[in-house]
Structure 1
């Protein structure tokens, strides 16, 4: 089948737009914990380092916390991924659910340290179960992040079996990030229960977001896809072929 130059240009534009969205999601995921912690050390904001990212909701940095999560949520909802008969590999479905979960995490806060404090949520009640909604949204959000990295991002390269893959192949990075997310999230309640070290929840949540962000940045080709990087990570030549564009 012949494809005219205009169609190729449109497809190239679409795929590069997708990559920009992926990079935006990745940068937001990585920058959120970094920005919150860095600003906590600036006395102007009068915000000490919190023991979890979610507790920044009750500080002067609340708008950064909720704003970044809402931005990620909207990006994920607007992102039109590929469908799949398997729910666990359905890019479009999983990103839509993740987007809704991200909005839920932002709009329904964790329980404050003093439960009698006003929660300022969409539901005008001071009930502990509202905080449990937050935990449920967060748990499902990170689970989907891991599923996307392990099951969805790896689909394209799984079809490519003709050439040997480098240890730096993108699929190895996606799987490492996905399993890291699962590990770090499991470590949150474990570290809290056994009090392994101060700010353990903040540390493991941040590491989970770093892993999430790295996976999306690699998927968005933030390092480029030319030369050695293209060959090692994506098994591509120095130019993006029409076939690769349509597989993305």
Structure 2
């Protein structure tokens, strides 16, 4: 009988491959479509279900309307897409964090309108504070995607349009940051203006729309005209 070596070679860790480019683009497209359409759908949907033109105090206030399922479902869908999204390790971690924030925003409702609940309970107040924290975290991560990650492209297919795309990402990122500042200032200073559309709703809608446009551009669903001075393909 021959002696068999009982030594077992250690199993080396295998790095999971990135998603194929088509899957990455589809996930980006899904996030972009939902993000860019959600402010419009909520506005139109609330007006249709109420049989009159309705402007809520915030997008999150849709939780207390007939559009609650649309609002919660859309945020959960965005969250799932972001968690499933995998491009590189850095984007994977941050997109997962953003996805968790999106789902938590959907599950922790904002404070109910004073017309429905003049004196909210302690639990409702706590949930409302957590909602604001999760929403701030979500917008912060999405702004970072626009200002840093999307502009730091390593994909040679995107180099031709890099200058135009980077301009779009920069604008969308700073729009999100500016909207966060406006929302925070309006909440702290209790600023009000003589206009049906509140600063909170406007800031949220503009932020969501801006990040949706950025993800649509990144998905190459929106074709931009390359700059005349854009560099051509790299040569060896």
> Contact (CA 8 Å) 1:46, 1:60: kept in 2 or not?
no
* Unpaired runs of at least 5, structure 1: 1-10, 84-89, 119-124, 244-248
C-alpha RMSD of the superposition: 3.2
Aligned in 2, Cα 1:191/1:131: closer, same or farther, shift over 3 Å?
A: closer
The secondary structure found in structure 2 opposite 1:183 is: helix
Equivalence map 1:169-248=2 (5 Å): 169-192=164-187, 193-196=190-193, 197-198=195-196, 199-224=198-223, 229=224, 231-232=226-227
Post-superposition offset of 1:159: 9.1
> Contact (CA 8 Å) 2:160, 2:226: kept in 1 or not?
no
Match of 2:27 in 1: 21
Larger RCO (alpha carbons 8 Å, 6+ apart): 2
* Unpaired runs of at least 5, structure 2: 1-16
Aligned in 2, Cα 1:46/1:214: closer, same or farther, shift over 3 Å?
A: same
Q: How many residues align?
A: 208
Establish whether residue 144 from structure 1 lines up as the match of residue 141 from structure 2: yes
The secondary structure found in structure 2 opposite 1:56 is: helix
The structure with more radius of gyration: 2
Match of 1:130 in 2: 127
Match of 1:101 in 2: 101
Give the TM-score normalised by structure 2.
0.77
Post-superposition offset of 1:158: 10
| 1:37 counterpart (20, 39, 43) | 43
> Contact (CA 8 Å) 2:78, 2:102: kept in 1 or not?
yes
Match of 1:65 in 2: 71
> Contact (CA 8 Å) 1:39, 1:45: kept in 2 or not?
no
- CA distance in 1 between partners of 2:36 and 2:161 (Å): 31
- CA distance in 2 between partners of 1:23 and 1:56 (Å): 24
